[in-house]
Amino acid sequence: MTVKSVIEELDALYPEMIELRRHFHQYPELSHREVNTPRTIANYLENLGIDVRTNVGGQGVVGHIKGGRPGKTVALRADFDALPLQDQKNVPYRSTGPGVMHACGHDAHTSALLTAAKALAKHQKDLKGNVVLIHQFGEEVTPGGAKPMIEAGCLEGVDAIFGTHIWAPMPVGQVGVTSGPMMAAADKFKVTISGRGGHGGAPHLTTDALITGASVVNHLQQIVSRRIDPTEAAVLSIGTFHSGQAFNVIAEEAVIEGTVRTFSKHVQETIIAEMERVIKGVCDSNGASFSLDYEKGYPPVVNHEKETDIVRQCAKRIVGPEAVIELEPNMIGEDFSYYLEHVPGSFFFTGAGNPQTGAVYPHHHPLFDIDEKGMLNAAKILVSAALAFLNQD
């Protein structure tokens, strides 16, 4: 078996890859509610003669391809959950689920890994080592599917792991790699401010939660710019602010929700402490009380250098050296980070944007779509990286 022969196999399987992707796109399932998707995945793998475990950590599916020659074990991961969005595309494979849509490319991740499994299974007797196929549920909603799948043993015996995200902001044909921090820790918070409501004409008899909340928002936005070392990356964003019921009533409560994104645990803890200090100070000065519900999300995605170099070299052979770019770290979260805390590996972006095919909308948009050639590139790089890792001396 050669890498070239498996790549050629993937080229031949491209129509099937498209068919699979469009099936998953038509029948999406929300995070942690996946039923038919994991069943379809398991049936596909079983029909290839691959050993399959289902209900791993929840709705997870894990396939094992045991090579005919002894060697190490490498894992490849794809997620398969969808988002609570109404698909507004006018295409034959438009979502049939009301208010549910694959708007992030997880349908493409799944299809790429399934056909990669088919190409590898055909050469199983010549395979040096083993390949673990991790089909993960629930990536879009914390606590995510990676952590429970790891706790259920999906990484047992695994020496390295690779994964990719189809990336519409990047043109199809490009691949983005980086070693070290790649994606941020993604936390969320909720601040509830309690005051004393009353008549709009008698504000002196009230404790205005809305005004207090507005001041809290203003002060929170100064934490990153004034309390965090400017050489460190961090984001604190307010997403919602709800307060008040009527135009002539002083609000008794204000609820503020937002997100914090960091790469450093020290920066994360500093922001949490500063939030407590700032909110308490503002509320004390206004005579209000508060509660802060801070939920730590996925840790940052930190790629390992050797495995990233494997991806980089494989990508250069697949799409050409000029099409492989070095990524800057971004503030989007991904629970692939949990895998990288347990075994070395690398996560990379595979370009799938193309104005000519209508793939111009951002992820999590109701018109989101991809150039499907991107998932073929993804499958080829994943397979190449897996074989390069297994075949290295």
Residues assigned a catalytic role: 81, 139
Quickly count: other Cβ atoms within 10 Å of residue 135's Cβ. 32
Question: DSSP character for 203?
Answer: G
Contacts of 146 (CB under 8 A, 6+ apart): 136, 139, 335, 336, 337, 338, 339
190: left (phi over 0), alpha (psi -120 to 50) or beta: beta
Quote the crossing angle between the two packed helices 36-47 and 3-26, to the nearest 10°: 150
95 neighbors 101 (Cβ within 8 angstroms): yes
Q: Tally the C-alpha atoms within 13 A of residue 366's C-alpha that lie toward its C-beta.
A: 10
SS3 164: strand
Quickly count: other Cβ atoms within 10 Å of residue 134's Cβ. 26
280 neighbors 212 (Cβ within 8 angstroms): no
Residue 194 CA to residue 350 CA, distance in Å, equals: 47
3-state helix, strand, coil in the chain (%, to 5): 40, 30, 30
Beta strands per DSSP E along 67-209: 69-79, 128-136, 160-171, 175-177, 180-183, 185-194, 198-199
Phi/psi for 294 (5° steps) reads -110, 125
Contacts of 244 (CB under 8 A, 6+ apart): 210, 251
